[in-house]
Amino acid sequence: MVDRKGQRRVVVTGLGVVTPIGLTVPDFWASMRASKCGVTQLGALPQEDLDDLKIKIGAQIKDFDAKARLRHFKRDKFILHSDRYSWFAAAAADEAVTQSGLTVPFEKGSRAACIIGSGAGGLTTFENAYRDLFILKKKATHPLTLIRIIGSSASAHVGIEYGVKGPTFATCSACSTAAHAIGIARDYIRHGLVDVAICGASESVINYGTMKAWQALHVLSPEGCFPFAKNRNGTVLGEGAGILVLESYEHAKARGAKILAEICGFGMTSDADDMVNPDIEGPRNAMRLALEDAGIAPTDIDYLNAHGTGTTLNDRNETNAIKDLFGKHAYKMPVSSTKSMHGHPLGAGGGIEAVACIKAMEDNWMPPTIGLNEPDPDCDLDYIPNVGREKKLSYTMSNSFAFGGLNAVLVFGRPPA
């Protein structure tokens, strides 16, 4: 089956997540339906580090057992010795591949891709290595330090486990990383380079050095992540992974797979303006390109999962970009930021939020923006405050806008008839 441009249609057959509000997709979705907040006081950091931090909250994953989740891995002998971000990626990929029902290792590995990005890579390993060298005065770091820190390690680990012999690499575009990975994987399948792809992103960055760096930029909130709210005062760092399994429609149908959704559109732009402050043109054009790629009108979008970080400038700018593109429909279209629940997992955000968009269509239920008790007058759209809402959904959009003005937007539709 081809689309209106004569290109292969690309569908989703597997979902996987590891998040602060659920270590699997069912638990993650149940937490969203309960409006659960994953932001807590920081844990598992040395007390002297906590004492020196001004921001002491984060959306951490505290109950993840790598041995329990990954002990059955057979081909990748190093996964349990990898960095935490690779653990999250491997666990989410395992859930997605299991749901897809694909035979593993993949029967045609050369016709598969594994594109799993990270905005930061193995930052936890970096910090531990520096502690060993400069504070504890050790003569050497762990022998696997180099392998752990590489930003493409997660994609390599997952590729090894599932026998992926086609394109295997990482994307890195700050907070747009996962969306770029998913969009590129979609294009590889659409144009016939591969038939199957594992794609998304993973992040584990909550440590002393990262918290100090984000504090210095003055964009972290000491209280919580409250997108579009009048009292918002910054974002909250999170961690986790969001992974999709994609296939060409023909490949999925031929093996009798259950199709969860279709990736209908993808748009990406760069502001080419400022490293920190966003503009309206770049995000607006990324959304426009995604709609044009999908061949649908702005009025066809039933729900938009916003980038919605909870920072003053970002939320106002995204609101204006949405209004600029969608016009009157902007005020009729429900929008929410799920970062209010799972925090801001940087590069992994677009993967986790893609899962939220697909589950929203599956259940005809839209997740809320929690903590939105008094909206900012400048943010005057329908942000689904505090409690989710039922609605028949045909198309959903997911926005990812990053430092450097790097924008990536995905449009999902229901499974092809």
Q: How far apart are CA 259 and CA 262, in angstroms?
A: 8
Given the residues 157, 251, 342, 344, the one annotated as active site? 344
Q: What is the pTM of this model?
A: 0.97
Selected catalytic residue, list 175, 199, 264, 357 = 175
Name the residue among 390, 397, 389, 414 with its Cα closest to residue 357. 397
Q: In sequence order, which ranges of 76-166 are alpha helices (DSSP H)?
A: 84-100, 123-130, 145-149, 153-162
**pLDDT for position 4:** 64
Is 344 a catalytic site residue? Answer: yes
221 CB-side CA count, 13 A: 24
- Other C-beta atoms within 10 Å of 98: how many? 13
pLDDT over 90 percentage in the chain: 97
What is the predicted pLDDT for the residue at 417?
A: 84
Residue 359, judged by CB atoms within 10 A of its CB (0-12, 13-18, 19+), counts as: buried
Q: Is the pLDDT of residue 2 over 80?
A: no
pLDDT in tens, 190-216: 999 999 999 999 999 999 999 999 999
Q: How far is CA 386 from the centre of its chain?
A: 21
Pick from 190, 117, 51, 166: nearest CA to 402:
117
| Residue 305, phi then psi, degrees to nearest 5 | -90, 105
Tokens for 135, please give them. 């504070």
pLDDT digits (tens, 9 = 90+) for 254-269: 999 999 999 999 999 9
**Domain regions of the chain by residue span:** 10-254, 266-405
Mean of per-residue pLDDT scores for the chain: 97
Q: Are 294 and 411 in contact (CB under 8 A)?
A: yes
CATH class of the region 10-254: alpha beta
Give the closest residue to 165 by CA, choosing from 192, 195, 200: 195
Amino acid found at 304: L
Check if 251 is active-site.
no
Say whether pLDDT at 1 is over 90. no
Asked whether 32 and 338 are in contact (CB, 8 A), the reply is: yes
What six digits make up the tokens of 102? 């694909």
Terminal CA-to-CA distance of the chain, rounded, Å?
11
What's 151's DSSP letter?
T
Q: What integer pLDDT is reported at residue 91 of this predicted model?
A: 98
Half-sphere exposure of 125 (CA within 13 A, CB side): 23
Domains 10-254 and 266-405 share a fold: yes
pLDDT in tens, 60-80: 999 999 999 999 999 999 999
Could you say which of 225, 307, 342, 357 is catalytic?
A: 307
CB distance 229 to 376 below 8 Å: yes
- The CATH architecture of the domain made up of 266-405 is 3-Layer(aba) Sandwich (3.40)
